[in-house]
Amino acid sequence: MASPTLFSFITEQLADLKARGLYNTIEPLESANGPVIRMGGRSFVNLSSNNYLGLATDKRLIDAAVQATIQFGVGSGAVRTINGTLSLHIELEEKLAAFKGTEAAVAYPSGFNCNMAAISAIMGDGDAILSDELNHASIIDGCRLTKSKVIRYSHSDMDDLRTKAREARESGRYAKIMVISDGVFSMDGDIAKLPEIVDIAETYDLITYVDDAHGSGVLGGGAGTVKHFGLSGRVDLQIGTLSKAVGVVGGYVACSQAVADWLKARSRPFLFSTSLPPGAVAASIAAIDLLQESRDLQEQLWNNASYLQNGLRRLGFSLGPTATPITPCIVGDEEKTQRFSAMLYEEGIFAKAIVFPTVPKGTGRIRNMPTSEHTSEMLDRALAAYEKVGCELGIIG
């Protein structure tokens, strides 16, 4: 064991985080992550999951997972390239490609993995990546795995992107240039300006890469942000996750057949991390089938989102630029944000505070995630708690 003094930086920094209200305590759930959850023996209206469509507890998905687990076991036994590719993985990838309207799709153990995999498999030394400053942490880390020049552009600022794309192209310094954006920004709920991004990309010959973790299952009739804007066939790589609206776990890259073949040959998580377990794959297949059969769950999700957002706005809260079910309630100061969340908790509402470094300093917020499974009674309980706590903290009048 190393001498304890080597770890004193941890003790000091943890104390500092706690003093500044930036330390996140994690409380385990004693129930499924549904619209109502149990923690510490109490039940709460849950406004913090990504289980948008309630599929994490859907009977049809559970049955599919159980059947596949009985048939294939709990684990897949190997990485994809040795013998961890089951017929189920191929079926899932074919379904995902059809769902997204692309030639092919490649599944990975997580959405985070996809960004580790795809960015570094495609971009290298002598290339440049234009990246929105609010892109997800997994995109930032994926970019770090390349030796490419990373050029950040101001959030959704299309003039800035256009200028930087032109400069990068005209410099003649880069072999390939890629533009990367979240489809839906997870902390604010705003949608990327994809029509302009694609237009700029076509002007300056950029590879387009959209991480649609929060758009898939939610926008474009479920197919995501690219479909929402009618841009199918004009985006090179689309990342999706199987862990949010799809309700299970895993991620995928939807792309051309050539890119998929390359990812299967070269992307490191595909080669070096054990493939998704059979139960998760079968449940994901069932979810994609459901999403293609009916839009009822999506409609219910959007109805609930409007109900909650209208209610919060009527109370006087500021929700920022959201255009999706993601419902941030902006508080600002980090400590006050944490206090707000703790007071909601006392009222039986679980809505997590999101503070620096997940979001910029001074923009602390309670991020509410309505789902299709919430009843209006649950949302009314949440709104009543928001009114009480908002008044007590002097955030609303």
Single-letter residue type at 146: T
Interacting span for ligand PLP (CB under 6 A) from 122-130, 194-202, 209-217, 354-362: 209-217
Q: Does 190 bind ligand PLP (CB under 6 A)?
A: no
Taking CB under 6 A as the binding criterion, the range among 19-27, 108-116, 306-314, 324-332 that sits at the site for ligand PLP is: 108-116
Strands (E), the chain: 36-39, 42-46, 104-108, 128-132, 149-153, 177-182, 207-211, 237-241, 251-255, 327-332, 349-350, 353-354, 364-368
Name residues whose C-beta falls within 8 Å of residue 247's C-beta, 6 or more positions apart in sequence: 51, 53, 54, 55, 56, 57, 58, 61, 283, 287
Q: How far is the CB of 353 from ligand PLP (least distance, A)?
A: 18
- Whether 294 sits among the annotated catalytic residues: the reply is no
The piece of 5-13, 25-33, 211-219, 350-358 that touches ligand PLP (CB under 6 A) is 211-219
How many chain residues touch ligand PLP (CB under 6 A)? Answer: 13
The residue (of 184 and 355) whose beta carbon lies closer to ligand PLP is 184
Polymer length of the chain: 397
Task: Give the per-residue contact string, 56-95, with ligand PLP (x = CB under 6 A; - = no).
Answer: ----------------------------------------
How many angstroms separate the CA atoms of 326 and 185, rounded? 9
How wide is the angle at C-alpha 282 spanned by C-alphas 281 and 283, nearest 5°? 90
Kindly indicate which of the ranges 9-17, 194-202, 210-218, 300-308 contains the residues binding ligand PLP, using the contact rule CB under 6 A: 210-218
Which residue among 131, 156, 186, 337 contacts ligand PLP (CB under 6 A)? 186
The span from the CA of 317 to the CA of 390, in Å, is 8
Q: Which residue is nearest to ligand PLP (CB)?
A: 111
Which of 89, 149, 155, 214 is the binder for ligand PLP (CB under 6 A)?
A: 214
Structure tokens at 204: 């300056």
**Of 358, 290, 360, residue with least CA distance to 23:** 358
Residue 95 falls in the annotated catalytic set: no
Binding mask 110-129 for ligand PLP (x = CB under 6 A): xxx-----------------
Nearer of residues 84 and 111 to ligand PLP, judged by Cβ: 111
Contact of 278 with 88, CB cutoff 8 Å = yes
Contact residue for ligand PLP among 131, 138, 338, 341 (CB under 6 A) = 138
Q: Given candidates 182, 188, 334, 373, which one binds ligand PLP under the rule CB under 6 A?
A: 182
Selected catalytic residue, list 149, 155, 164, 214: 214
Nearest residue (CB) to ligand PLP, 53 versus 385: 53
Q: CA 175 → CA 124, 144, 154, 265, 365, distances in Å?
A: 9, 18, 23, 22, 41
Of the candidates 80, 95, 136, 365, which one interacts with ligand PLP according to CB under 6 A? 136
Taking residues 2 to 41 in sequence order and writing x for each that binds ligand PLP by CB under 6 A, - otherwise, the string is ----------------------------------------
Amino acid at 142: G
Cβ proximity to ligand PLP, 311 vs 370, nearer residue: 370
| Closest C-alpha among 199, 182, 62 to residue 133 | 182
What CA–CA distance (Å, rounded) separates 210 from 263?
16
- The residues in 237-296 that bind ligand PLP, with binding defined as CB under 6 A, are 241, 243, 251
Per CB under 6 A, 213 contacts ligand PLP: yes
- Compute the distance between CA of residue 82 and CA of residue 311 in angstroms, rounded to an integer: 53
Q: How is residue 248 annotated by DSSP?
A: S
Say which DSSP state 174 is in.
-
CB 178 within 8 A of CB 123: yes
Provide the Cα torsion 355, 360, 361, 367; round to 10°: -30
CB of 242 to ligand PLP, least distance (A): 7
Point out the catalytic residue in the list 89, 244, 352, 374. Answer: 244
Annotated active-site residue 214? The verdict is yes
**φ and ψ at 212, to 5 degrees?**
-105, 40
CB of 182 to ligand PLP, least distance (A): 5
Cβ 300 to ligand PLP, closest distance in Å? 22
CB of 112 vs ligand PLP, minimal distance in Å: 4
What is the binding site for ligand PLP (CB under 6 A)? 110-112, 136, 138, 182, 186, 211, 213-214, 241, 243, 251
Catalytic positions, written as ranges:
186, 214, 244
